[in-house]
Structure 1
Amino acid sequence: MTDAVRLETLYKTYDDTGTAVTALDGVTASFGAGTFTAVMGPSGSGKSTLLQCAAGLDRPTAGRVFLAGTELHAGKDTAMTKFRRTRVGFVFQDYNLLPALTVEQNVLLPSRLAGRRADHARARAVLDRLGLLDRRDDLPERLSGGQRQRVAIARALIGDPAVVFADEPTGALDLRSAREVLSLLRTVVHEHGRTVVMVTHDPVAAAYADSVLFLADGRLAGALSAPTAEAVAERLAHLGDLVGAGAEAVA
């Protein structure tokens, strides 16, 4: 299976206050093309840092990141930004929609930022697929939380990305909306061949993924295939015992 993302001996250290803090401590992992992976761990485990480095939003202190076969961070920042805009999609907990733009304008924003012609036909096709075509002229304030997150997913998909990175995408949603969004992410993977890497703290959300990668203290602490909410919760409860055991590459 082709790797959509590969991390090789990734380290990330912060030293903003004069005291070094290691967020990632030699992480090596891979995420296969067309798979849905949840990344989990306690607060401070390094999961959000892993996502940011894997997506090219932050530079690792050491190690290498490959996305769709291209090494990130190897070139200039401007080249990396351009590559990220064309090959990576993002979904965040707080949606990150611009309130003054309509649904369709928000979806088309990545194309405009990348200097590409706005493809209204494609935007409307994606919105139609996500059940939002009739809301394309609405402002975000008129949408529910679940609908806003679906707009964010449409925006992530508009550029035909190799990978969609999702950071706690259901954290601000009620249970019903969360299930709808998670089912949609699974559809994006299994019916449309995208790769999704999702950071979450919720075992129920993780159970929608094909596999789960666990982190603790910035190190790999195991992996779980075909997860259930119960199995994920059990593994989380024993993460301390798994630190240092490592994890096989996630496929």
Structure 2
Amino acid sequence: MLRRKRRTARAGSPEALRLVGVGKVYGDAESAVTALDGVTLALPAGSFTAVMGPSGSGKSTLLQCAAGLERPDRGLVVVDGEEMSGGGEAALTRFRRERIGFVFQQYNLLPTLTVEQNTTLPLRLAGRPVDRARAADILRRVGLGDRLGHRPDQLSGGQRQRVAIARALVTEPALVFADEPTGALDTRSARDVLTLLQQSVREHGRTVVMVTHDPVAASYADSVLFLADGRLAGELRAPTADVVAERLAHLGDRAAGRLAAGV
């Protein structure tokens, strides 16, 4: 079952996410690939964190394990003071619906539903009351107040991603996980989406964890966590795009060197 874990963060700054020794391996025996190798981290509530690393570094696996989409092989994942462990898939699904919001690169909107219906879908799936006025207010805040009755094929890519953000926020989650949320967008739409995520943190106290390969996107975050070979490889606070790009290039060179050496 999902067990209550006493919060250890300072008063007034509770932890939104804690990972302790999290490991994940895919495959068996000689074909085994270690995606995460004993990752330990803690993120405070009300923070915006970008996760970056070379291809194969484990950043997507980190997000999936932290969000409860995959079960780690070892270690603890604690979201909003609640430990995700044991129990069945039904309990884990309920936990995600209550505590976690998701924003994906490909939006994952249902084409037959309107903007309003897509936004309130998590509430309906969780059996929670649907406050249409509040949903309309969230959509207004993301710039879609005049699009409630539109369907996804009537929207631009940037507008679809705004619906996805509204959908992620409507349940008032403890954590919002964003997986390459600007990967399919043009520069202007990407900037707008990143600003919305930033505002959800600074103005509404949400906690956002974003996987991205883009140094410019990462510069919108409060801090950047770097991964390499399934392990944490550093942190950068108050990131700028240039410094992020330099750090990422260094990690990529190290990974290429190990690959060439057969390590």
**TM bucket normalised to smaller:** over 0.9
**Is contact 1:189-1:196 (8 Å) kept?**
yes
The answer to whether the 8 A contact 1:209-1:227 is kept is yes
CA offsets per residue over residues 35-88 of structure 1, 9 Å max, x none? 000000011110000000001111000000000000012333211210110110
Q: Give TM-score scaled by structure 2 length.
A: 0.90
Offset of residue 133 of structure 1: 1.2
Which runs of no fewer than 5 residues in structure 1 stay unpaired? 244-251
What is the aligned residue count?
A: 243
Which amino acid in the other structure matches residue 147 of structure 1?
A: Q
Give the 3 Å change call, closer, same or farther, for CA 188–78 of structure 1 in structure 2: same
| Contact 2:54/2:252 (<8 A) preserved | no
3-state SS of paired residue (2:146): helix
Aligned-partner Cα distance in 1 for 2:29–2:115: 41
Counterpart pick for 1:158 among 158, 170, 185: 170
Residue number in structure 1 paired with 2:46: 34
Deviates more, 1:10-19 or 1:153-162: 10-19
Which ranges of 4 or more aligned residues in structure 1 deviate by more than 3 Å?
Answer: 240-243
16-25 or 220-229, which moves further after superposition? 16-25
Q: Report what 2:151 is aligned to.
A: 139
TM-aligned CA deviation for residue 242 of structure 1 = 8.0
Q: Which residue of 2 aligns with 1:49?
A: 61
Query: Match for 2:224 among 202, 212, 217?
Result: 212
Aligned to 2:160: 148
TM-score relative to the length of structure 1: 0.94
The counterpart of 1:69, out of the listed 81, 87, 96, is 81
Which blocks of at least 5 consecutive residues in structure 2 are unaligned?
1-12, 256-263
Report the CA distance between 1:16 and its aligned residue: 6.7
* In structure 2, C-alpha distance between the alignment counterparts of 1:144 and 1:195, rounded to whole Å: 26
In 2: Cα distance, 1:183 partner to 1:240 partner: 28
Work out which of the two has the higher radius of gyration on C-alpha atoms and give 1 or 2: 2
Q: Matches of 1:15 and 1:226 in 2, distance apart?
A: 38
- Quickly say closer, same or farther: Cα 1:16–1:170, change in 2 above 3 A: farther
Matched to 1:232, the amino acid is V
1:180 partner SS: helix
* Deviation digits for residues 155-209 of structure 1 (CA, Å, limit 9, x no counterpart): 0000000000000000000000000000110000001100000000000000000
In 2, the alpha carbon distance for the partners of 1:107 and 1:167 equals 18
CA contact (8 A) 2:46 2:202 kept: yes
Task: Provide the rounded CA distance (Å) in 2 between the counterparts of 1:38 and 1:16.
Answer: 31
Residue matched to 2:136: 124
Aligned to 1:185: 197
The question of 1:22 aligning with 2:27 is answered no
Whole-Å separation in 2 of the counterparts to 1:66 and 1:226: 25
Pick from 113, 135, 146: which aligns with 2:125?
Answer: 113
| 2:21 is the alignment partner of 1:9 | yes
Does residue 99 (structure 1) correspond to residue 111 (structure 2)? The answer is yes
Amino acid at match of 2:198: R
> Which residue in 1 is equivalent to 2:243?
231
- Aligned residues of 1:221 and 1:242 also touching (Cα < 8 A): no
Distance 1:136 1:16, change over 3 A: farther
Question: In the alignment, is the contact (CA less than 8 A) between 1:7 and 1:30 conserved in 2?
Answer: yes
* Mapped contact 2:51–2:211 kept (Cα < 8 A): yes
Q: Percent identity?
A: 70
Query: Does the Cα contact within 8 Å between 2:52 and 2:213 map onto a contact in 1?
Result: yes
